[in-house]
């Protein structure tokens, strides 16, 4: 049997599905998460700098380096288990340490990432998380911990994955600069399921932060979009005025259209990324299968009240920008139609003028032809008279001879010119 040839990407694509395994964790443990993003043009950044920054951290612990060109890494660094992932716009570090500190959310737990190493980062922090993972036996201690650790007004808490755990966060930045998450794990919950919940929570916060960059972009754009909207509306009003010259309107319309297209082009990536990140946030929350804890708001409730309005603002601004671009295109079409109509009217007037000039030329030609008949006849009569002068000796006077020749010569010249005209026509 002849073996089948594999597509050159078959194994690479299959392995990609298993390239980023979930962490494995057992309560109690402390999770420290960090996402770093370059401020500008993050998608086109030098990714080698990300790898060099990771290697710098690994060298401090004598850990093995990742493969060249790797986009993910997992391994032990000292007493911490580290996971590194390189994404389109950011790099994520997850460090899991067994056991928890006596002080909840102790800033010292974040020292797995040394300050000087953080200062050498090729980007800036987009978010960081301190997660405290503990075992749960009863609900009363959980309620007390939530009261001690989080802001009640914005606290989101829910039972997840068929009561495998209770997760909570107030989505606020604490004095140390981190987001706080708490995970209370049931005794029956395994290490792999605990790891999946940890990763889902980190992804919810990370992609929420990344999608909010679109909202920040929209806040910068909205004043200028409002100005362009008014400018375009004023141009449309001016176009209804017959006295307005297209030569004056066209430069303004071109300038407005160009700026709208520029804004749209510069914002298209951010708008698209925001939509993708929002979908991930909602999907990650959905797979947690939340159930209410003591009637408190869930993660989905929090996102619906605090997060969704911002995302709707981004989407509405994107639609508004597209609508303005479409309006500018229609305005250009209307202005072009107006110019075409005016040009047609000018052409019509020009043709009428040419017709009048042609008619005058024809009349002048007929007049000239008439005069030419007279002139030719005059010279023809003179020549014929000279030719017939010998007849005057027979008693015919010169005047009578000229008079007799005039009418026949005149008719002959007229007939000859008429025949010439017929042949030319």
Residues 321 and 185 in one domain: no
Residue 20 has pLDDT above 90, yes or no: no
Residue 198: inside a domain: no
Residue 2: inside a domain: no
Residue 361: inside a domain: no
Residue 344: inside a domain: yes
Residues 121 and 166 in one domain: yes
Q: Which residue has the higher pLDDT, 375 or 168?
A: 168
Residues 184 and 237 in one domain: no
Residues 181 and 36 in one domain: yes
Percent of the chain at pLDDT exceeding 90: 59
Residues 225 and 273 in one domain: yes
- 292, 322, 348 — which closes off a domain? 348
Mean pLDDT of 14-34: 85
Residue 38: band (very low, low, confident or very high) from pLDDT cuts 50, 70, 90? very high
Residues 112 and 216 in one domain: no
- Beta strands at 156-160 and 124-136: parallel, antiparallel or unpaired: unpaired
Residue 378: inside a domain: no
- 302, 320, 348 — which closes off a domain? 348
Q: Which residue has the tokens 């259209």?
A: 257
Whether the Cβ atoms of residue 136 and residue 107 lie closer than 8 Å to each other: no
Q: 95 is in which domain, residue-wise? A: 18-189
Residue 173: band (very low, low, confident or very high) from pLDDT cuts 50, 70, 90? very high
Residue 220 has pLDDT above 90, yes or no: yes
Residues 312 and 173 in one domain: no
- 313, 348, 383 — which closes off a domain? 348
Residue 182: inside a domain: yes
Question: C-alpha angle with apex 334: 331 to 338, nearest 5 degrees?
Answer: 135
Residue 48: inside a domain: yes
Residues 243 and 320 in one domain: yes
Residue 363 has pLDDT above 80, yes or no: no
Residues 163 and 235 in one domain: no
Number of domains in the chain: 2
CA torsion angle 150 151 156 161 (round to 10): 10
**Each residue's pLDDT tens digit, 133-147:** 999 988 888 999 999
Residues 260 and 298 in one domain: yes
Distance CA 287, CA 85 (A): 21
Residues 273 and 183 in one domain: no
Distance CA 151, CA 169 (A): 9
Residue 4: band (very low, low, confident or very high) from pLDDT cuts 50, 70, 90? confident
Global model pTM greater than 0.85:
no
Residues 49 and 157 in one domain: yes
Sign for the CA dihedral angle at 78, 79, 85, 91 comes to negative
Residue 49: inside a domain: yes
């Amino acid at each position: 049997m002849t073996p089948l040839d594999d597509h050159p990407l078959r194994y690479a694509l299959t392995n990609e599905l298993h390239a980023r395994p979930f962490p494995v964790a057992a309560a109690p443990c402390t999770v420290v998460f960090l996402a770093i993003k370059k401020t500008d043009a993050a998608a086109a950044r030098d990714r080698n700098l990300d790898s060099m920054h990771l290697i710098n951290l690994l060298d401090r612990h004598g850990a093995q380096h990742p493969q060249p060109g790797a986009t993910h890494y997992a391994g032990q660094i000292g007493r911490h288990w580290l996971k590194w992932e390189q994404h389109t716009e950011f790099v994520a570090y997850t460090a899991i340490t067994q056991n928890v500190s006596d002080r909840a959310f102790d800033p010292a737990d974040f020292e797995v990432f040394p300050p000087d190493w953080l200062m050498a980062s090729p980007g800036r922090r987009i978010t960081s998380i301190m997660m405290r993972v503990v075992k749960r036996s009863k609900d009363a201690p959980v309620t007390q911990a939530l009261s001690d650790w989080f802001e009640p007004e914005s606290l989101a808490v829910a039972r997840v994955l068929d009561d495998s755990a209770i997760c909570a966060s107030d989505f606020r930045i604490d004095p140390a600069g981190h987001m706080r998450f708490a995970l209370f794990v049931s005794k029956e919950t395994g290490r792999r399921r605990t790891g999946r919940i940890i990763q889902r929570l980190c992804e919810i916060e990370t992609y929420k932060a990344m999608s909010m960059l679109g909202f920040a972009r929209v806040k910068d754009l909205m004043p200028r979009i409002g100005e362009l909207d008014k400018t375009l509306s004023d141009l449309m009003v001016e176009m209804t005025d017959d006295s307005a010259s297209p030569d004056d309107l066209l430069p303004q319309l071109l300038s407005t259209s160009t700026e709208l297209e520029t804004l749209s082009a510069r914002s298209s990536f951010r708008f698209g990324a925001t939509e993708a990140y929002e979908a991930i946030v909602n999907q990650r929350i959905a797979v947690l299968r939340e159930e209410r804890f003591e009637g408190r708001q869930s993660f989905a409730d929090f996102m619906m009240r605090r997060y969704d309005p911002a995302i709707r603002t981004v989407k509405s601004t994107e639609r508004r920008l597209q609508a303005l671009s479409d309006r500018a295109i229609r305005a250009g079409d209307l202005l072009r139609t107006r110019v075409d109509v005016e040009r047609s009217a000018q052409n019509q007037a020009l043709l009428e003028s040419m017709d009048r000039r042609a008619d005058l030329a024809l009349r002048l030609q007929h007049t000239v032809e008439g005069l030419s008949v007279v002139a030719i006849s005059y010279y023809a009569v003179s020549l014929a008279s000279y030719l017939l002068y010998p007849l005057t000796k027979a008693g015919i006077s010169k005047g009578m001879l000229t008079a007799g020749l005039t009418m026949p010569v005149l008719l002959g010249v007229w007939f000859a010119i008429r025949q010439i005209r017929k042949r030319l026509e």
